[in-house]
Amino acid sequence: MASIMPCTCGRSQAARGPHGTGVHARTPTYGEGMEFRYLGNSGLKISEITYGNWLTHGSQVENDVATQCVRAALDHGISTFDTADVYANTKAESVLGDALHGERRESLEIFTKVYWPTGPGGKNDTGLSRKHIMESIDGSLTRLRTDYVDLYQAHRYDTETPLEETMQAFGDVVRAGKALYIGVSEWTADQIRAGHELAKDLGIQLISSQPQYSMLWRVIEGEVVPTCEELGIGQIVWSPIAQGVLTGKYVPGQAPPQGSRAADEKGGADMIKRFMNDDVLGRVQQLKPVADEAGLSMAQLAVAWVLQNPNVSAAIVGASRPEQVGENVKAAGVRLEPELMTRIDDVLGDIVERDPGKTAETAPKGRVV
């Protein structure tokens, strides 16, 4: 029911040449190796499994373990790394920069983001004003120990700054050589369209959207994905395992395992609570036979599932232990048969969230200070 084959996602091979030929810093040590996809309509190739350090580096795991996780990612052929200045209030960027130090920069794709409050949280330490963007990119580059990032992303839409000001600042960051491309995260379809139009007028490339997306959270499918397909924008999706729910480790009627995200009162439990009810958890348990039939773990099934969407360029995975990286990477190159995709839909039924209005509903209504 599942097979491994070359990626043909998102672009005609006849038009752009064969995929899977991206350069990375070292040879993968397992199986078929990593697959690579173009990011949107750009010429940039990224690893379809991207390593992210939200909720881990600089907070949940010690720096030496974080470094081990990054090394494991490199060993398994991951070349793309996603972070943000707000993660652990800038510490996550520093940990990632240290872990990648010494690698061939040209063989890596390093992504970061700007919007949320950083530093002491002063009145201009947040948002997408020109002041905050221009100061934030310099801080991120210093912490990441690099002269440029491959992708600089607006971490949310700023309702208090004119979009023209934001996009002009991003344009200047690109022209200064501090970022190669720009992207957005958790923007609505209308916001993406407006930003793309301004970027085009300024001669810069808005090539990506970074939304939450999983079997359980499909709110981008109705509006964001069709808009991005039209505009040539690719999705870099976060939380493909629904903060761990789709691993099946949470069982209806039982307390969350000690040390799991649902048991973390420092932030993880709050993020995962929308899925922590017996109806959702019970349906997820019914996915185990499907995963077994496909020859995958439940986590691998979840990651492989998001990668079936032709508009998805990469799935972001995190890790608190190096061995988790190797397990998640086994979802690379997996193609799920249509029959299996249908069975997943049948199992999950009406617990899936599909309302496109959830993107705007969960967005900040003003700057967070």
Spell out the residues 6+ positions from residue 259 whose beta carbon is closer than 8 angstroms to its own.
none
CB of 178 closer than 8 Å to CB of 191: no
Cα-based distances in Å from 323 to 65, 71, 94, 104, 327: 11, 11, 22, 24, 7
DSSP E strand boundaries for the chain:
2-4, 36-38, 45-47, 49-52, 80-82, 109-114, 149-154, 179-184, 206-209, 234-237, 312-317, 334-336
Given 30, 38, 51, 87, which residue is catalytic? 87
Cα-based distances in Å from 347 to 126, 271, 279, 284, 288: 42, 24, 11, 8, 11
Q: Is 30 a catalytic residue?
A: no
- Locate 209 and state its tokens: 């959207």
Which residues are part of the catalytic machinery? 87
